[in-house]
Structures are given as C-alpha cells and as structure tokens.
Amino acid sequence: MRTATELRALLRFRPVQLAALILLLAGIGTIAFQLKLCVLDPDIWWHLKVGDWIIDHVAVPHTGILSRTAATRPWVAYSWGYEVLLSRAYGWFGLIGIGVYGTLLTIAVAYSVFWMLRRLSGQFWLSCLGAGVVCSAFLFNGMPRPFFFSIALFAVTLTLLLEANRSGQVKPLYWLPLIFFLWANLHIQFIYGLSLVGLFVGVNLTQRIASALGITPDFLSASTLPALQLVLIGAGCLLATLAGPYFYHPYQVVLEYSKAKFTYSVIIELQPLSFRGYSHFAELLLTAAGFFAVGWRRKLDLFKLALMTAASVIAYRTMRDAWFICLPAAACIADAFAPQAGLEQKETSSADTWRSETWLEKLGMAAAVAILLAMVANGTDFNQRGLDRAISSQYPVNAINFLRRSPVQGPLYNNLNWGGFLMWYMPEYPVAVDGRNDLYGDELDKIFYNSQNAEKSYTTDPYLNESGIVLLGSEMPLAKILTVDPRFQLVFHDDIATVFARRVGVQ
C-alpha cells in the first residue's frame, strides 16, 4: 500500500509530469531528425520556390509560375502563408532552417494532440500516453507539409466545440473566426474545419427544431447552446475564410479537387489504407475505441456520432487523411474520461488531474526540448552535411551539376517527383511537371504518367517531343526505353538519374 501511495504521489508530482511531456515532444523531434522527411519531401521544394516568388514580388501568384507547360493556367497558392514562412526559414538559416521548420511543425502537431486530450479529459497521463499512441498512427506517414497546420488547428477547433457542447457555454467559440482566418491562409483543408463547424451547428439546430416539435428521445443528450449565436459564429467562420488575397477562389480549388480521379488512383498517399503496417491497424483500433466511447455514455451525443461517422468515411478514403479520424476518435475517448457533472471534486484513482502549464513552464519546456534536440542533432546526422547527404541520396544533384558544367539547350522534360527540386536547384530550366496536381489536372497528369511508364503513347507526348533535354530517374521505364530512341542521346547516367539530349536535326 505504501509503495502504491508513493507511486501515485510521484505521478502527481508536477516536475515529473513536465519531464514526461518534455520527453514526449523531444522524442517526436528526434524521430523527425532521424527520418529527415523535412528535406526528403518532393513537394517541399516547390513550396519553397513559391514562397521565394511571393516575397520577391510582394504578391501571390494567380497562374502556374515556374512551370513551362502550365505557366498560363490559373493557379491558387492556397498555402501561401506556409510558403512564406518556409522561404524565410531557408533564407535565414539554409537547409537547417528547412529542417527545423519541419521539425517544429511536427512537434506542434504532437503538442496540439496532447493539449486537446488534456483539455477534454483533465488527466495528464492519459493525455500524454494518448498523444503518443495517436501520433504513432499518422504523424510520420506524411511529410511536414502545410496540412500539419490543418491538423493542429483542427485539434484546437474540435476541442473548443466539444468544450462548448459539454458546458453549454458558447463563449469559447468566439475564437473560431480568428482561427479560420489564419487557417484559410495556411492550408486548403480549412474546409475540413469549416465542415466540422457546420456539422456542429447543423446538429444543434436539428435538435432544437426536434425539441420544439416535441421529439426528444430519452437516449439523446439535449442541446443547450443558443441557436442564434451558433449560426452567427458559423457565418463568422465562413466570412473569415474569405479574408485573404484569394477571396473565394480556394473554394474553386476544393471543387476541382472533388472532381479529380486520376491522381487518386496513382499517388500512394491518396489511396485507401492497405493495412500492411502498424499505423493502419492503430487507426482502425482508434476508430473502434472512438465509437465505443461515444456509445459508452448514458446519453448518446448526436454530434459525436455524426462526427465519427463522417470522419470515418473521409479518412479511410486516403492514407494521407488518417489524422481526420484519429483526432475525433481520440477526442471522444478523452471526453468520455472527463468527470461527470457534480463529480468534479471526486479524486480519480490515479490522482491524475492536470492544470494548464503556466507561461513560465511553457518557456522552460520549450528550452528543455530545444536543448535535448541540440544534443541529439549530431547523433542523428541532423546537420548541414547530413541534410546534404540525404538530399543527394534521393535527388539528381550530380546530374544537375553535370548540366551546369555542360549545358544542354532546353526545354526540359522531367519526372513529376523531381519537379519541385528542379525548380529550386536548377531554376534556369522551367519544369515540365511538378507536384501541384491542382495546377496540371487529371488530363496533363495522365499524359506525363503514361509517358514516364513508357506506354505506347509516349511517342506522341507533345511535351516530350518538344523537349531538348530529358532528366529522369534511372529506374523509370521511360529512361530505359529512351536509350534506344534515335531522337535522343544519353549524356549522363548514374544510379539516381539519367539525362538525355535531343540529337541535332532529329525530330
């Protein structure tokens, strides 16, 4: 008994809890250092170049800048806020700046999950361990792109909604329009958050109308929030998303994305879960636990049930959106552990209650995490030389250096995954294609995909036929077939890249 009492006292000890949270965040950062996804992401480079362009021109682009095949097509840089921050990180600190920026985003997502769980459950160890489990289900399956902002802001939005739903107080929701103003200028998945708010308002209005008609099932929890204020807050969120340089145009991009089919069939991260790894099963278990937590309470919360159902439909469609079910499931689980009304003073078996960190504690935690990461940086090869090596192992650095020594007349034809890197490292050649699927669309993406897989149609590909230089991955089918194509001659080859130049006078 004495040992158990001492253990509970130790677990309640504030410095021990803070130390555990520091280790969680530092551990997340260490994994990010080891994986180096911040510089291995093919899309990070076009985001960087777009950020540079915005700063140089003090404006946002409206056409397909940096592309030769889609230069005149309309385009919305809907992540322009992320891209400006990325540009400054690189401009001030070089590759280390890109790495630290991506790592900070990763840590911010982990902390936002912990913050959400702690606010909803009021329990530290549940939140700390839960954040580790939830992050393991999705965090390192994707690169630290703009959608990391969406994950963090979704967690904040969902927390505010559930707190208002629980307390019957609408005041916390007054922050939402400001959140959506920031969100809409950082990433297009603000539409997920707006749908979340719309669902919340819709469920509450439906319950109000049903109650007015005398339809009040005993098994459903009642809505206690004022309907008019909810509608006004929802309208404020919608208007806030229009307060940016692109006004309503991001909604047009959303519409175009909804029509896309080809990219969802060929890009792995946009395909459904394969259940070939731990993270997919963790997502499934979280989903099941989330639904169980919703039904566990005596009164069924219609908003939570609708949220879990909608999130399941969306998240299981693509691997990249795994977070979209993990966060609602974790939130529902945490909310199920919150003290019931009238029991707030009752001590839990683990005495696990947690008060929010003070600003001084937050500063101390940030300093401790930074010191720990600085200590492990060299051990994980997270330095200028290590990032250079990581880049050179995946991108055609030697091929581009060869072209600088021995220039070949363009235009350039390249494979999709390298388009962003070529924008950054070889800007003198506008790229044929890059990772901006919303710019090129299904039609162009299909042409490039078929050609690069050496389908018969490659001989009639207009973009290949007009090119003067072709830079491809050495393992690509097109790179192999062009070695016997009389129109091109091999000028460079290594294990990563192969370069062809068009033979003079041969069409």
Compute the distance between CA of residue 99 and CA of residue 157 in angstroms, rounded to an integer: 27
H helices then E strands: how many in the chain? 22, 4
Compute the distance between CA of residue 282 and CA of residue 26 in angstroms, rounded to an integer: 22
Q: Given this model, what pLDDT does residue 116 score?
A: 97
Compute the distance between CA of residue 284 and CA of residue 78 in angstroms, rounded to an integer: 31
Is it true that the peptide bond before 430 is cis, omega within 30 degrees of 0?
A: no
- Dihedral angle at the C-alpha atoms of 333, 336, 338, 343, nearest 10 degrees? -160
Compute the distance between CA of residue 268 and CA of residue 136 in angstroms, rounded to an integer: 19
Which position has the token pair 């919703």? Answer: 294
Q: Given this model, what pLDDT does residue 343 score?
A: 42
Q: Given this model, what pLDDT does residue 202 score?
A: 94
Compute the distance between CA of residue 53 and CA of residue 65 in angstroms, rounded to an integer: 9
Buried/exposed code over 159-188 (b: 16+ C-beta within 10 A; e: otherwise): bbbbbbbeeeebeebeebbebbbebbbbbb
Q: Given this model, what pLDDT does residue 333 score?
A: 95
Compute the distance between CA of residue 356 and CA of residue 14 in angstroms, rounded to an integer: 11
Q: Given this model, what pLDDT does residue 1 score?
A: 57
Dihedral sign for Cα atoms in the order 412, 417, 423, 424: negative
What are the pLDDT digits (tens) for 483-498?
999 999 999 999 999 9
Structural Rg of the chain based on CA atoms = 26
Nearest to 337 by CA among 22, 346, 21: 346
DSSP of 344-379: TTSPPTT--B-PPPPHHHHHHHHHHHHHHHHHHHTT
Compute the distance between CA of residue 232 and CA of residue 230 in angstroms, rounded to an integer: 5
Which position has the token pair 């929701």? Answer: 173
Q: Are 24 and 132 in contact, with CB atoms under 8 Å apart?
A: yes
What are the pLDDT digits (tens) for 302-318?
999 999 999 999 888 88
Q: Given this model, what pLDDT does residue 31 score?
A: 96
First to last CA, the chain: 87
Mean pLDDT by groups of 10 residues along the chain of 507 residues: 69 86 97 94 95 97 96 96 97 96 97 96 93 93 91 97 92 96 97 97 90 77 86 97 96 90 74 78 93 87 94 87 94 87 42 70 94 95 95 96 93 95 95 94 91 90 94 96 94 96 76
From residue 365, alpha-carbon distances to 28, 50, 368, 375, 500 in Å are 14, 34, 5, 15, 53
Q: Given this model, what pLDDT does residue 143 score?
A: 84
- Dihedral angle at the C-alpha atoms of 298, 135, 349, 166, nearest 10 degrees? -40
From residue 123, alpha-carbon distances to 83, 120, 143, 352 in Å are 36, 8, 30, 5
Q: Name, in order, each residue with C-beta under 8 angstroms of 484's C-beta and a sequence gap of 6 or more.
A: none
Residues in the chain: 507
